Amino acid sequence: MHGEEEASGRSYLMLEGTDGHVYHVYRTPEMEELRSQRGLQTNSFIRLRKLSTARGPVVEIKDMGDSEAILTNKAHLRETAREMIRRGVYPQDGGWNGWLGRYQKALVDRAFALEQDKAKERERRKSRGLGR
């Protein structure tokens, strides 16, 4: 959701994070530029990262398009699940409904598929070793 504070006129976004929290984020010049290029549309899936630079902090924005499409984007889900597992966080169904619940389920399913693939690969290696 996009909005503007009445008292200050400052523009902001209300974002639902994949962690289930809602964030009030003031729009930056980078966000304004992206909005002028038709980015950051309602129901977009975006990634925000605060970076430190020599000129000070900046916000890196990646607009990944329609949030519904991300639910079937196998490459995104695979990489996200892989990164979470690498950090020691196994995707879990948090019991949410709506889009967030569907996203969490898609990550859990993808993580399970990655684990199955690893198990199959270990079994193949094991059977090759025994066949010698």
For residue 105, CA distances in Å to 76, 81, 82, 123 come to: 14, 11, 15, 27
Q: Pick from 13, 38, 66: which residue ends a domain?
A: 66
What pTM did the predictor assign? 0.76
84 and 62 in a common domain:
no
Q: Which of 76, 74, 95, 96 is nearest to 84 (CA)?
A: 76
Query: Domain range for residue 132?
Result: 71-132
DSSP state of 40: S
pLDDT digits (tens, 9 = 90+) for 16-34: 888 889 999 888 888 888 8
51 and 107 housed in the same domain: no
> 62-112 pLDDT, tens per residue?
899 999 999 999 999 999 999 999 999 989 888 889 999 999 999 999 999
